[in-house]
Structure 1
């Protein structure tokens, strides 16, 4: 039995010596790691966008917009364009666009891109004509004209005609108030009749801007107040016609003309 035990014992040792090779003898697997990019952890929305070389500056955008405005104005008005303008329209070079801008600016004078843009917002749906009553100043002029005509007509009927003499008797105070309303209405009517055609002309030529609206009110106020003073003092009565209504209208229109020249010179000095 001892001999068999020894033989089994020796066999066990023998198998341990010839066991399978360990993991140390197997070749290691080579793994190539991809380098981590620097901006991999930056959120997508915060990553800088690629810079395009064709981006336009604010100045270039403004030049192109105003050139388009002036070209549309020339088409609407049917103005003749110089043959030199045609080749410049297709160019995208800034230096050529500046030359084109100056040529168009001379072609549309006295209108400007600013005044054309202001008037264009009051054109009809077809962009063909200006709707005058869309302009707030024109509506105000129309309202003042209607009120002035009604008050002037009433004052003329009471003061200068015999319509109400047989039916109504007015006290001295009432007659004075009616006479002053008549003079004020006639003064404003004369000034408005002078400035309304001027407004229509500026709208038609697209030379009106929002900056010119205060000038109209100042000139009308000055012309009307001057006319009221001159009519009440009757300075020019001996040299004018006998019809008081036409007399007052003429004085008011003359005062409006003087106010127009005065404020025109003030504006010219202010823009120096």
Structure 2
């Protein structure tokens, strides 16, 4: 009996060691196929809700439900709903579902934060503008010749104008993105960086006048304020111009690989 028991245990161990390992089958996983199908449904819902014309052949492709047909229908729908993307549609849908019962002001945190920041810059603009330290004479001096509280208030005044300029640009972009369904989570990080760039660009643009204007009497609130506003509004364009100049300079001293 003991021998039979030992033999059975040995055979069990042998069976366990002989059991084949699960093979990894190459190809598209079921999770990806499910996600592909989900994005197709989201795009169809978005297109129907917004009255966007879609290709009728998509129906046949979806009914077949093969991977090739799903990919083809996904590609066709991406063209139909452009400039919106599956990612932006899913993000908008998520916001709509999670923020049910909340006010319109709370449904889009990005828009809310931009509006609050615009009000902050507007208040700063009014407060610094009311100060007697902010005038043509103090602006004539610029950063190099001004100092103390007067310099701080003048920089605050120009910073507020620059901030209003960049936020004016961003609010227009966000409203267009919400309307077209192109809002994505990464926009939050992008807009924060663009606000900082806008303030820097506005300050630099407004102070350039002081360095290149020989007659200080020609510098006034309008000139500096306008340059700060334009610098903030067009910060993205200014960055692109400067980046283009740097790239051209680099090509002079650092030849490209194709040239070698």
| TM-score by shorter chain over 0.5 | yes
Structure 1 segments unaligned to the other structure (5+ residues): 1-55, 162-171, 264-272
3-state SS in 2 of match to 1:189:
helix
- Relative distance call for 1:155 and 1:198 in structure 2 (3 A) is same
List per-residue Cα deviations over 1:88-123 (Å, max 9, x = no partner): 333333332222111111111222211111111223
Match of 2:110 among 131, 137, 142: 137
Match of 2:184 among 205, 209, 220: 209
* Distance in 2 (alpha carbons) for counterparts of 1:261 and 1:213: 24
Residue matched to 1:38? none
Match of 1:191 among 160, 163, 166: 166
* Distance in 2 (alpha carbons) for counterparts of 1:63 and 1:120: 16
> TM-score scaled to structure 1, two decimals?
0.61
Structure 2 segments unaligned to the other structure (5+ residues): 1-28, 137-146, 244-260
* Distance in 2 (alpha carbons) for counterparts of 1:239 and 1:88: 66
> TM-score scaled to structure 2, two decimals?
0.64
1:230 aligns with 2:210: no
- Relative distance call for 1:78 and 1:136 in structure 2 (3 A) is same
User: Root-mean-square deviation (CA), in Å?
Assistant: 3.3
3-state SS in 2 of match to 1:123:
helix
3-state SS in 1 of match to 2:156:
helix
Greater C-alpha Rg: 1
Superposition pairs of residues 20-35 of structure 1, within 5 angstroms: none
Residue matched to 2:81? 108
1:58 aligns with 2:38: no
List per-residue Cα deviations over 1:62-86 (Å, max 9, x = no partner): 1211110110110122101122223
Residues 220, 256 of structure 1: 8 Å contact kept: no
* Distance in 2 (alpha carbons) for counterparts of 1:137 and 1:257: 22
- Relative distance call for 1:69 and 1:109 in structure 2 (3 A) is same
Count of residue correspondences: 196
Superposition pairs of residues 18-167 of structure 1, within 5 angstroms: 57-123=30-96, 131=104, 133-158=106-131, 159-160=134-135
- Relative distance call for 1:58 and 1:124 in structure 2 (3 A) is closer
